[in-house]
Structure 1
Amino acid sequence: MVHIAILEEKELVRLGIKTIAELSIQEEIVWHDLKTVQDIRMFLKKNSSACVFFNPTSYQLLQQVDVIYELKSTYERSVWVMWLEELPEIWLKKILHMKSVNGFNMLQEKGTLDEIKKGLIAIGRKENYIASCVQEVFNSYKTTAFKVDQILTNAEREILKEIATGKMTKEIAADRNISIHTVITHRKNIFKKLEVSSVHDATRYAIRAGIITVNDYYI
């Protein structure tokens, strides 16, 4: 018998998850419908090696990333499964900062039924599972960080950071005690090297490269 907590606001999605899991996991499942991280904490106190199946965008869980990591660390035998429409930026940055998914399994809502079942079977065997499309996102972000390190000078990285955090050209020039013309030249060079054409795109690049965090600027 396996105890699984599920945190998903959409009733039909919750039902679908339960149906697929029961077809894939060769054990009797006892489901626990939860809504808060405090519910999870109480659940794991009673079932320390149980499974927590959650949509990170449900029930304001996006605001509880650090708490969820702490619970995963405290209850080391617990199994965590993310059900993703797409990987939220805040979770991506946290995972890259930790340099590991730290035991979090990830299933993609857009995946085929066979892919989802394959993931659940692997998870049932205590194997870590990351959907291929999510792994591609991780690889893309790592490539972005490597590219920034290779092609931008230290000065350009610093100015990119200031651009991405919303500073105007005049502010950057004043803060760095350089001319507005110099800042404009750096900005043109940065955009050209990164092959972007707007502050919005440059900001996303900066987030992916770890130059700023989603707390500095959330897209």
Structure 2
Amino acid sequence: MSNLKKTIAVAEMSYIIRKGLVYSLSQLPIVEKVVEWKDLENLSAQSIALRPDAIVINPMVLGRISKSEIRQRLKLDKKMVVIALVYNMIDEQFYRSYDAVIRINDSEANIENILTNALKNGNSSGSGQDDLSERETEILKSLVKGMSNKEIADHHNISIHTVITHRRNIARKLEIHSVSGLTIYAIINKLVDVNDVKY
């Protein structure tokens, strides 16, 4: 992370939570400017115009979507850090794709550490996390539908060794190492329908 102070955008519908977070962030030494995004209709245009270094967003404002979907829908710069603002009970797996998570009950020191680390480490998907290739996405879909390695190999006309390599890459990129975790990821990211999953 460079020594320059950063611009942070806050996207949150609740007035009191948004104002409190904007104030808290503006007090941090690494933050030069905090921009409020209260008009969710124009988030994409605001993102292009203001080019913040990071966005702190309640994933629910756009309907419980993942970081990659937020990035697509808002046309966010690939380098922008996306931080989830969490104040309700949702499965932790949902937030794994975000660069960082700020919880409503975090202390000022904790928020500063989270923000500093997220900005220092940059966008994790830029380093390969969360960016599955088309083939890896297809393998993941087959896997969560309950297919064995042999069935996946036959279905995609590839060797079992290649299937295993793809599975390793998927686990490494997503940092999810169980089929149940991958299933939750696939459902949340709308890669598969709940009805397609084999229990």
Please provide the CA RMSD for this pair: 4.1
Distance in 1, matches of 2:71 and 2:92, equals 13
Aligned to 2:106: 111
What residue in structure 2 maps to residue 127 of structure 1?
Answer: 121
1:123-162 deviations in Å (ceiling 9; x for gaps) = 3x433599xxxxxxxxxxxxxxxxxx9xxxx7xxxxxxxx
Task: Tell me the residue number matched to 1:43.
Answer: 46
The match for 1:83 is 85
Please give the TM-score of this superposition, normalised by the length of structure 1.
Answer: 0.47
TM-score, normalisation: structure 2: 0.50
Partner of 2:167: none
Q: What is residue 30 of structure 2 aligned with on the other side?
A: 26
Q: Does the residue aligned with 2:101 lie in a helix, a strand or coil? A: strand
1:11 to 1, 8, 15: 15
Give the number of equivalent residue pairs.
Answer: 138
SS in structure 2 opposite 1:62? Answer: coil
C-alpha distance after superposition, 1:48-99 (max 9, x if no partner): 35322211123x4325865313268851122222111257459728x5xxxx
Q: Secondary structure at the match of 1:24?
A: coil
Tell me the CA shift for residue 24 of structure 1.
1.8
- Structure 2 residue identity aligned to 1:107: I
In structure 2, the residue corresponding to 1:69 is in which secondary structure? helix
* Matches of 1:77 and 1:9, distance apart in 2: 24
Cα distance in 2 for residues equivalent to 1:69 and 1:80: 8
- Aligned in 2, Cα 1:20/1:107: closer, same or farther, shift over 3 Å? same
Distance in 2, Cα, partners of 1:79 & 1:209: 23
Change (3 A) 1:114 1:50: closer
Alpha carbons of structure 1 residues 27 and 112: separation in structure 2 relative to 1, 3 Å:
closer
- Report the counterpart of residue 64 of structure 2 in structure 1: 62
CA drift at 1:21: 0.8
**Ranges in structure 1 where 5+ consecutive residues have no aligned partner:** 96-100, 131-148, 155-204
Over 3 Å counting, the alpha-carbon distance change for 1:65 and 1:46 in structure 2 is same
